[in-house]
Amino acid sequence: MVPLGVILVVAAVFSPSLRNGFVNWDDQFNLTDNPHYRGLGWANLRWMFTTFHAGPYQPLTWVTLGADYLIWGMDPRGYHLTSLVWHAATVLAFYFLALRVIRLVRGDSHENSLPLRLGAAVAALLFGVHPLRVESVAWATERRDVVSGLFFILTLLAYLKACRPDGQASRRRWFALSLLAYAASLLGKG
């Protein structure tokens, strides 16, 4: 229940961003005037995986924006909602990362006490509502931050799981998963 409360607070804090339009800065160049990302057809995907549009190579972010176009068309509320969902997923992953790190620091890797969960919840809440997250959630072009951020947190979680002293095969799988999540993080933001 603790992570759900954190997610609800983060959603409430960022819900005003759902009223935002596209920003007359680089949303215009990247989204409103750019027909190439609109959809997930072969031509769109080829463009997404070969372009350095506006500088960074970020094909995974383009894929999420292409999916947004299929679902929402050019309604900016949908793009902002998707970014909020990505951010909420990142906050949830951060909660589990904080829980794991606190357990490691305390040396009680199996304890799941209320103070431990509350400490992880406070860490996730502070991460989730920090002012540095506003741009990433409220600005459609900054989707790359929430995409890359989620996969980076998942990288850390998988890596910490790989470092546990269980069976070798399990360690290899978690390490491989951490490398895949890291590659996804790199494909999300240049």
pLDDT in tens, 56-73: 899 999 999 999 999 999
Whether 19 contacts 92, CB under 8 Å: no
Residue 181 three-state SS: helix
Q: Which of 138, 132, 150, 158 is nearest to 187 (CA)?
A: 150
Q: Angle at CA 92, nearest 5°, toward 57 and 167?
A: 85
Whether 72 contacts 102, CB under 8 Å: no
Q: What is the pLDDT of residue 110?
A: 65
Locus of tokens 């995907």 = 45
Phi, psi at residue 105, to the nearest 5°?
Answer: -65, -40
What does the alpha-carbon distance between residue 190 and residue 105 come to, in Å, rounded to a whole number?
Answer: 33
What are the tokens at 22?
A: 């596209």
- Written as tens digits, the pLDDT of the chain (190 aa) is 678 888 899 999 999 999 999 988 888 899 999 999 999 999 999 999 999 988 889 999 999 999 999 999 999 999 999 999 999 999 999 999 999 999 888 877 667 788 889 999 999 999 999 988 888 889 989 999 999 999 999 999 999 988 877 666 688 889 999 999 999 999 999 8
Q: What is the pLDDT of residue 190?
A: 82
What does the alpha-carbon distance between residue 22 and residue 151 come to, in Å, rounded to a whole number?
Answer: 25
H-type helices in the chain, by residue range?
2-14, 27, 42-50, 59-72, 76-106, 114-129, 132-138, 143-162, 168-188
What does the alpha-carbon distance between residue 58 and residue 48 come to, in Å, rounded to a whole number?
Answer: 8
Whether 136 contacts 83, CB under 8 Å: yes
Whether 36 contacts 45, CB under 8 Å: no
Element (H, E) at 127: helix 114-129
Whether 171 contacts 164, CB under 8 Å: yes
Q: What is the pLDDT of residue 133?
A: 85
What does the alpha-carbon distance between residue 100 and residue 119 come to, in Å, rounded to a whole number?
Answer: 11
Whole-prediction pTM: 0.92
